[in-house]
Amino acid sequence: MKLIRYGQPGEERPGLIDAEGVWRDLSDHVTDLTGEALSPDALAHLGALETSKLPLVPQGTRLGPPVSDPGKIVCIGLNYADHAAETGRPAPDEPMIFLKATSALSGPNDEIRIPRTSEKTDWEVELAVVIGTHAKYITDAQAMDHIAGFTVMNDVSERAFQNERGGQFTKGKSCDSFAPLGPWLVTKDDITDPQNLRLWTEVDGTMRQDGTTADMVHPVAKTVAYLSQFMALHPGDIIATGTPAGVGAGIRPDPVFLKPGQTVRIGIDGLGEQRCETVPD
């Protein structure tokens, strides 16, 4: 099942995409796609609806992030060996964790706003996991039972803020619009193997990243279980699982960074594509 949120920012409504690719409204069945609405029982209820009787969503409507009000966005750094290598660092023995502000969330086709003092805004296509049920001290084998589904996230990063301004990664990761999410949330029953998905980034028509989730250092199940040892994971929480090689900072001999007026497209097999224009903030 593919779940969406549509409408203007702050006014999004829940919906789904039916088997024919038609957008349908779910407002009569769920208030929003957040919290307990992502539980197994709630998703089973939505999946059992007769979609042909659901109201149509007007064509051309904006897509918002497919999850509303997550409690946290947890990101995993250097989780692809080739990406770690392009940064000149070894892949970590344990998942490298940092947080991204929830205020960075935006829709999958919204503008990416380049901060006023930005020098090194970069792209990172990532498989994002959305939690469906409370998880704490779980095992790898239990992890999938706590996942609602998967979506696409661009972990947009300002490298100068991140690496050259002191402190932690947060300020380089959390600028407004630095977490385009979507286009839709695909429930886990529609993803046969989250470790066998192609993911890619294209900037102004040039392919920059082209990898596979099979190359993760710490796979999805291990990552979710690992995080649950340090913090409770709640329904609606988002986990961004890392990016493959090909980020702008890794291009040699001259790194390439985003400027206003560019087009960034990213996608993951089965999870859809984003298309964002860059603009000055």
Indicate the SS3 state at residue 5: strand
Q: What are the residue boundaries of the structural domains of the chain, listed by start?
A: 2-63, 64-280
Q: Kindly report, residue by residue over 230-252, the tens digit of the pLDDT.
A: 999 999 999 999 999 999 999 99
* Structural contact between residues 151 and 33, judged by C-beta atoms closer than 8 angstroms: no
Query: pTM of the full predicted structure?
Result: 0.97
Class of domain 64-280: alpha beta
Q: What pLDDT, on the 0 to 100 scale, is given for residue 145? A: 98
Q: Kindly report, residue by residue over 120-142, the tens digit of the pLDDT.
A: 999 999 999 999 999 999 999 99
Q: Kindly report, residue by residue over 108-120, the tens digit of the pLDDT.
A: 999 999 999 999 9
Q: Which of 53, 56, 156 is nearest to 106 (CA)?
A: 156
Can you tell me the distance from the alpha carbon of 40 to that of 148, in angstroms, rounded to the nearest whole number? Answer: 7
